Homo-oligomer: A and B are copies of this chain.
Amino acid sequence: MTIFTALDILGTIAFAISGALSAINRKLDPFGIFIIAFVTAIGGGTVRDILIGNTPVSWMQNTLNIYLIGIAATLAIIFRNKLGYLKRSLFLFDTIGLGIFTIIGVETGINAGLEPIISVALGAMTGCFGGVIRDILCNEIPVIFRKEIYATASIAGGICFMVLYVFAIDQNIIYIATTLLIITIRLVVVKYKISLPTFFIKS
């Protein structure tokens, strides 16, 4: 198993748990919980595969992910009261998923021979889409439109990845540095309630 596969598994589990917690919070039934966990976990990768034309999409070629999502959702249901403050757990797993899936998206873009800026965009879509679709389905304001820096963290991570990649840094270091950067940005931003300024219109 390569580090790439290991990352994919970790990201899938993290997003599946975040989806399950969100669905439990919305009092959905077990099937609803599994569906939201599934869509959150595979959403980003599916959009990535469809955009670059990698079909049948990844989760169809590999049953492992479906079983992992099922197990993660079941564990989230069983330990829902032990996951501590629900919103904090949700934030944690969502952020891990964002970091990992951003990396996978950027790397996929590079491997497909896309330009750096396009690879960063693909990374941001792969990272953000699962959380966006989860929030839309659970009737929350999509995470990228809340007054927190979310897509921006993913894009910053993607740019960090590209810069280190150009300097031919060791792949494992790139992975760790990028994930840590994204997670750190998210933590700092939410802890200190940092948000980007908005523009007003005179009318």
Contacts and interface: CB of A to CB of B under 8 A. Distances in A.
B56 A151 contact: no
A77 to B, nearest CB: 6
Bin the interface of chain A by size: 35 or more
Contacts of A197: 29-30
Contacts of A137: 142, 145
A2 to B, nearest CB: 22
A56 B60 contact: no
A80 B29 contact: no
Nearest to A70: B117
Contact of A115 (B51, B63, B112, B122): B63
Contact of A117 (B25, B66, B198): B66
Nearest to A25: B201
Given A53-B55, A137-B145, 19 more contacts: A25-B201, A27-B200, A29-B147, A29-B196, A30-B199, A31-B152, A31-B155, A50-B50, A50-B55, A51-B55, A51-B57, A52-B55, A52-B60, A53-B56, A56-B114, A77-B199, A80-B201, A81-B203, A86-B201
